[in-house]
Structure 1
């Protein structure tokens, strides 16, 4: 009996081990069902689409960005009035530069006097040549008037000679007719030999007078031509003299203008040499002294960089955050931004600044803590060469103020989330899974070397 009773109990225990209780099986099926349903449910849940980007704080106004202070003249640095990280005011002295030549100002003054003398002489020559031109014009007119009178006299002489020639021709024709009549009458014996001879002599005399009158006409015509030629010669000679004097005027004017330009350049140089103290153009901080300040008297050339000043940025509207968005996010960002602009609004953003702790719940910005409000003010039209696009974020006046510019300076790192439309979580995951690979920087890109200040050996 004991043997038969023990065996069924052992079998029952084994059966319990192989078949878990109903509650455990139900819980297992419930968990499995939850795992299968959860992805589907999550894929249709609403999701605040946002693009993450990182960047830094900058000044939107170019005049409030870092500025290079350059040497206005060649010379040696005689004294520094500031040090790095020192706050300066506009107009405050920064450094003094001394010219290597102590007599440079006196030499420049002598050069200025010489140029002014050249300019004065050129102006005087210009005035003299202008007076000469006026005198030549008056002389030309007088000479042309006299030549015109001579031409008129020659033409009157020609007119008289022409009339005399006409009379002589008429008399010669009358004498010819009379001679033919006398000749015929002599042949018929109607007139004497003496009358015939007189008629012949009269004809010869009239022919001689006609030839003399014709020669007089030719001489008078030659006189008219000579008078006309003389008048043209007078005009041409006078015009040549006037043109020569005018060219001299232009030459004097050009020389005077050249002297004026040289004088202006020299005055600028004198002004720079006279004010050899470099002053700060803006309120700000001395970020870096580039020139070799440790070795006093270092030589610099005009245009060499002496230091870098970071201007103070005042007002929330003049500080912006530049964020660099991935290329996969740029098309949708630009499209959504253009739609917002058409409606008179823009894209909102949440910004976290380095040094300010914050918690940002991606997809649910309403429960974020420690972030600052912003809005998109511009998106670059071209990438930065690495497949990223720059987005400028300005302060949202409806949100709390950003940290002060004293605490949050230019170059401070920041990260932000650009808030777009509400989409399903499944769509957002699908978009991210289809992203392009990141673009790496070109290997041949190398940082530019800083400008070196040459020191004389």
Structure 2
């Protein structure tokens, strides 16, 4: 049977134990208890202090604009290094000569290449002018052929008119001769009748017969003349066709020669343009033998060394740091913190080599930090798995040190909302993201 009665329990306190009694009676243990209680109370009160949430990042000093960052000086053409005009650490102005290279391609080794090309251009220009003169001469020849053709046609037309008038005249003469034949025939018949009656002598009859035969001969002669006139008329028409064909052939030949001359002229003009292009290219290439600085700055490092070393086009020869630049900081943040960052937000920065005391949750208590403002956020993740953020100096705060060098390290803190410490501990233990910092914006009422 279980012994569960209250009367059977032994009543005993901690003070009955000798060890507990010894601890309670010693003074230094009492002080320790008070310290523990005080620290506990202080730690509990500390949990209610304000804490500024932030996003930390690490990066390096850079420039705000791409054209102000260190860049390489490249050779546009391939060549062989002949002479250096600068050394590492020298300051160069824009346009100063860095080095001189010589030609290594056999197509450009002629020392008089530019001058010879210019002479070729002049010769082709003269050939173009000659062809143009030939075209003009053939054009004059065509006009002369057309003028001569018109005169020949007018002459042939006049011959046609003359032949037509001659046909008309011969026709009239033929009619007159026919009339004379009728008269002579009538007179002959009358003389024959009178001779039969004895009224006319035989001599008169013979005279009339001779006259009749003479008129008949005239008719044959006149008919021959009429036929000759008609033949001349036909020949005049044939002559017009011959003239048209002859001068059309001459004009066609002249036009063919003119088209050939124009084709040669256009071909020469195209060759002139090609040679002029080569001449300009050769002139520009000669200037590329002297590699010059694209902007003022300091020669950091010579990437190619020695005399006689050959380089290809696009090869980096040296690096230059621009003399004037706007300093900035590029930092990298985790992808989980990217939605919390916006352009224009304030950032605290401290640089490597500068004395700093940083309290991430209490930026006002920190020492040696500088103010910055986010000006650009990269939308594509970098090779290190983070997003790149560009920060410019805050104009409303102290200027950044002038002694900063491009490429030196920097640490950043993007300030967010202010919360109690206990909330920040709770958020960190649970892995929650920081709070968004939102400003109170009250919409203004529109007035009617």
Q: Could you say if the C-alpha distance between residues 96 and 119 of structure 1 is closer, same or farther in structure 2, counting changes exceeding 3 Å?
A: closer
Q: Residues of 2 paired with 1:393 and 1:168: CA distance?
A: 118
Distance 2:417 2:233 in 1: 112
Equivalent residues in 2 for 1:25-174 (5 A)?
48-71=52-75, 74-78=79-83, 81-83=86-88, 86-90=89-93, 94-95=98-99, 97=101, 108-159=110-161, 161=163
Aligned with residue 323 of structure 2, among 312, 315, 328: 312
1:393 deviates by: 1.0
2:91 touches 2:298 (CA, 8 Å); kept in 1? yes
Q: For 1:363-417, what per-residue CA distance to the aligned partner results, in whole angstroms no more than 9, with x for missing partners?
A: 543333221111122223433356533222111111111111xx31111122212
- Is 1:238–2:251 an aligned residue pair? no
Helix, strand or coil at the partner of 2:399: coil
Whole-angstrom distance in 2 between the partners of 1:156 and 1:432 = 122
TM-superposed deviation, 1:48: 4.5
Aligned-partner Cα distance in 2 for 1:100–1:434: 65
Consecutive unaligned residues of structure 2, counting only runs of 5 or more, are 1-9, 25-32, 180-192, 194-208, 434-448
Q: Is the 8 A contact 1:112 1:266 kept in 2?
A: yes
Alpha-carbon distance change, 95 to 150 in structure 1, aligned in 2, over 3 angstroms:
closer
1:418 to 395, 414, 417: 414
Give 2:373's aligned residue. Answer: 375
Q: Structure 2-normalised TM-score?
A: 0.65
Q: CA deviation at 1:143?
A: 1.6
Instruction: Write out per-residue CA displacement over residues 42-86 of structure 1, whole angstroms, 9 at most, x where no aligned residue.
Output: 7xx976553322221112233322222235662245557424xx2
Equivalence for 1:352:
350
How far residue 141 of structure 1 moved from its aligned partner, in angstroms, is 1.0
Work out which of the two has the higher radius of gyration on C-alpha atoms and give 1 or 2.
2
Q: What are structure 1's unaligned runs of at least 5 residues?
A: 1-9, 179-191, 338-345, 436-457
Query: 1:328 and 2:336 equivalent?
Result: yes
Judging changes above 3 Å, is the alpha-carbon distance between structure 1 residues 67 and 200 closer, same or farther for their aligned structure 2 residues? same
Normalised to the residue count of structure 1, the TM-score between the two structures is 0.63
Q: Partners in 1 of 2:282 and 2:66 — Cα distance?
A: 32
Deviation, structure 1 residue 135: 2.1
State whether structure 2 residue 311 is matched by structure 1 residue 300: yes
Match in the other structure for 2:283: 267
2:73–2:319 contact (8 Å) kept in structure 1? yes
Among 382, 396, 406, the alignment partner of 1:398 is 396
**Which residue does the alignment assign to 2:272?**
256
8 A contact 1:284–1:309 mirrored in 2: yes
Q: Distance in 1 between matches of 2:428 and 2:153?
A: 107
Tell me how far apart the structure 2 counterparts of residues 199 and 434 of structure 1 sit (CA, whole Å).
146
Q: Indicate how the Cα distance of structure 1 residues 113 and 94 shifts in structure 2: closer, same or farther if over 3 A, else same.
A: closer
**More displaced, 320-329 or 46-55?**
46-55
Post-superposition offset of 1:429? 3.2
| Distance of aligned partners of 1:228 and 1:389 in 2 relative to their CA distance in 1, 3 Å threshold | farther
2:439 corresponds to: none
Provide the rounded CA distance (Å) in 2 between the counterparts of 1:122 and 1:431: 86
Kindly indicate whether the alpha-carbon contact (under 8 Å) linking 1:73 and 1:272 is maintained by their aligned counterparts in 2. no
